[in-house]
Structure 1
Amino acid sequence: MRLMIIVHHERTARHGLPDGPWQGALRLIDWGVIRADGEDAATFLQSQLTQDFAAFHDGEHRLAGYCSPKGRLLASFIAWRAGPQRFHLACSADLLAATLKRLSMFVLRAKCRLTDASGDVALWGLAGAPALAWLDGAAAAPGSVTPRGDAGQVLRLADVQGVPRVLLAQPAVADPPPLPLLLAAAWSWLQVHGGLPVITAATADQFVPQMVNLELLGGVNFRKGCYPGQEVVARSQYRGTLKRRMVLFEAGPVTALPGEEVFHSGDPAQPSGLVVNAAPHPDGKRLALLVSLKTAALGQGSWHLRSPDGEPLVEAALPYALPAPGDDVP
């Protein structure tokens, strides 16, 4: 599949972030962890999620999605092995209970036990060079998982605008990392500018995985066996029916929530996009948004938040390439 950046007439520059409030540690209370235990854990997850769990290796983490029969994402995960027969699935805390309940309905006779491990596993977001120095080499290349301490694991995430990022999973009773407090706004800003979608309760059942670029981030495997919604996801990929993609925008000092609508000047009578995630800059002067929108409107007109005459949005550069029009089909 040939990939290229879609270039538009209006784009903000990438902002290097070597200094400022981009260093420290933050307890990610808006995330939760689902634990899958048992000799059939990999097989069960293989049958339910978009990732290839049968080929999952130790020492790596991957993205995955859980879809409805109509191919719409009910949840998104960062997944990794936490033991020989154990997987951890990190997801938005506000949809964990519903997701766990739904997944548990399909375990049936599989030797797999699903539980909410959020009370046992604390997730920390670490950023900046001091975090890497404290980890003392435990954070390897992006995509890796490295053991640390007593049952702790270090998940190296992709750097964003020069800032190293790490997801630390450790026992809830363990001491917090001895690092300065990282502002929640700083972590969220990096997350949004990294182009990594997080499905929340407000956006569950809204997007086919490709509408939020999940397959571009390695979160969808098109060669594995069936899972709920697999036919719809495959059809979107191979028949050229995908009409929406996720794009990064910036705006002025406003707020936005997942699930809010975005309008295009060429079709003001109806929304042309939906906010996936949004984050204010720590200085409060800018807002970053990931928006799933109609690709036919890209490169022309103007985009506005919440109404046709709402806050104007200016496209910014994602850290990865989007398919050019017509190149979605391999």
Structure 2
Amino acid sequence: MTTWLNFLKEQGADLAEDNGIPSIAFSANAADETARTNFVTPLVHFGLITATGEDAASFLHNQLTNDVTHLTDNQARLAGYCSPKGRMMASFLIWKEGDRIVLQIPREIQAPVQKRLSMFILRSKAKLTDATEELVALGLAGPAAASALLPWFPELPLAILDKITSDAGTVIRQANAFGIPRYQWITTPQRAIEAWPHLTSVLQPAGSDAWKLAEIDGGIPHITTSTQEKFVPQMINFELIGGVNFKKGCYPGQEIVARSQYLGKLKRRMMHATVEVDKIVPGTEIFAADDPDQPCGMVVNAARANAQQTDCLVEIKLAATEGAVHLGSATGPVLNFQPLPYELTDPV
């Protein structure tokens, strides 16, 4: 167990692992409702990869769905990594930090994705390194987040995915959730340990579900083990949230992703739904009542909202949303669809 995780355990955190992937909860602050505002949570379910070397940017540019060569020092970007068939094998948040590029990825797929990317470096002057123990990420949400960060960041980034880097680390503005601002602070374990008492005097400590629930409300999908190679980016709205650049050069699967964008109307999209169950596993299939013999989509991500309800992002045939849709089988719990914070526009 790392120094950071040991510290959190000493602070009352309940740590759990699923196939080596940590999750966190704070039973002392447990409530029927998952925290939605004025909270801080250690983002232990994400891993971090650093890319270094003079060819690092061009190498990643040729592998990912977004522009990396023109990534500036004051912004972050979403990006996907696709198979040759255009299906997403990973989703990232990426940013520059000095002479290196940092990639944040769900922890459960970090190792195989990092290994696969490394296979294609070949003669490029680039190196990928696991930075999960070197850096830690904290998620902060709510109006009080600004005052919590004030001792280290007198000014905060205003636009979504803008970033500020200082000696205290990097702060990235995240998409709003539940109508409130959110930030990530990426820093060293020692800095995070020193900052924790102040942060938790202003914000309530919260578990992994708080950030996952906020991402779902913000319509931000994450590829996990059970959903790798299931979706072309547009099927989970990835181009709508800035994860795909259609003007950049080639990358694996680029032709198929472009064809999905420019040929015809999309028949599948990602929707936000609530279900009256206490837990949902990503990859669970969903079924339309009027076509019970075959799934009409699957769960992308899910998080506990309260003791009776789970929120989820589901990829689904748009035609199926006109009737009842059920979780797990045609007789399973009913999905109640919720609005997304962005419009589901058709490709042009």
Structure 1 outlier segments of 4+, above 6 Å: none
Q: 1:254 and 2:278 equivalent?
A: yes
The aligned counterpart of 1:307 is: 329
How far apart, in 1, do the equivalents of 2:73 and 2:125 lie?
Answer: 20
Alignment map for 1:50-89 (pairs within 5 Å):
50-83=65-98, 85-89=99-103
Aligned pair partner of 1:182 in 199, 202, 206: 206
Q: Does 1:157 align with 2:181?
A: no
The answer to whether the 8 A contact 2:283-2:299 is kept is: yes
How many Å apart are 1:21 and its aligned residue?
Answer: 5.2
For residue 80 of structure 1, give the secondary structure of its aligned residue in structure 2: strand
- Residues in 2 aligned to 1:97 and 1:318: alpha-carbon distance in whole angstroms: 31
Structure 1 runs not aligned, ≥5 long: 1-18
Question: Superposition pairs for residues 190-229 of structure 1, below 5 Å?
Answer: 190-229=214-253
- Is the 1:60–1:144 Cα contact (8 Å) retained in structure 2? yes
Q: Which amino acid aligns with 2:75?
A: E
Match of 1:14 in 2: none
The CA distance in 2 between the partners of 1:138 and 1:90, in whole Å, is: 23
- Is there any run of 5+ residues in structure 2 with no aligned partner, and where? 1-33
For the 8 Å contact 1:130–1:179, the answer to whether it is kept is no
Q: Could you say which residue in structure 2 is the equivalent of 1:122?
A: 136
Deviations 1:55-114 (A, max 9, x none): 21111011000000000000000010011x310000100000000000001111111111
2:312 aligns with: 289
Q: Specify which structure has the higher proportion of helix.
A: 2
2:44 is aligned to 29
Shift of 1:243: 2.5
Is the CA contact 2:174–2:182 (under 8 Å) kept in the aligned structure 1? yes
Aligned residues: 304
Structure 1 equivalent of residue 104 of structure 2: 90
Distance 1:207 1:241 in 2: 16
Q: Does 1:110 align with 2:130?
A: no
Between the aligned partners of 2:80 and 2:35, the Cα distance in structure 1 is: 34
Q: Alpha-carbon deviations, 1:20-78, whole Å to 9, x = none?
A: 65222111111001110011111001100000112211110110000000000000000
Q: State the Cα distance separating 1:184 from its structure 2 match.
A: 2.6
Q: Distance in 2 between matches of 1:24 and 1:301?
A: 37
For 1:14-25, what aligned pairs fall within 5 Å after superposition?
22-25=37-40
Q: TM-score scaled to structure 2, two decimals? A: 0.84
- Determine helix, strand or coil for the equivalent of 2:62: helix
SS across alignment from 2:128: strand
Q: Percent identity over the alignment?
A: 44
Q: Render the CA deviation track for 1:193-212: whole Å, top value 9, x for unaligned.
A: 11000001111111101011
Matched, 1:166 2:183: yes
Deviations, residues 283-309 of structure 1 (Å, cap 9, x unaligned): 3232111000111223x2101000101
Q: Distance in 2 between matches of 1:66 and 1:93?
A: 15
TM-score (norm 1): 0.89
SS in 2 for 1:277: strand
Distance in 2 (CA, whole Å) between partners of 1:314 and 1:192 is 14
Whose RCO is larger (CA < 8 A, sep 6+)?
Answer: 1
Paired amino acid for 2:223: I
Measure how far apart 1:127 and its partner are.
1.2
Higher mean C-alpha displacement, 177-186 vs 101-110 = 177-186
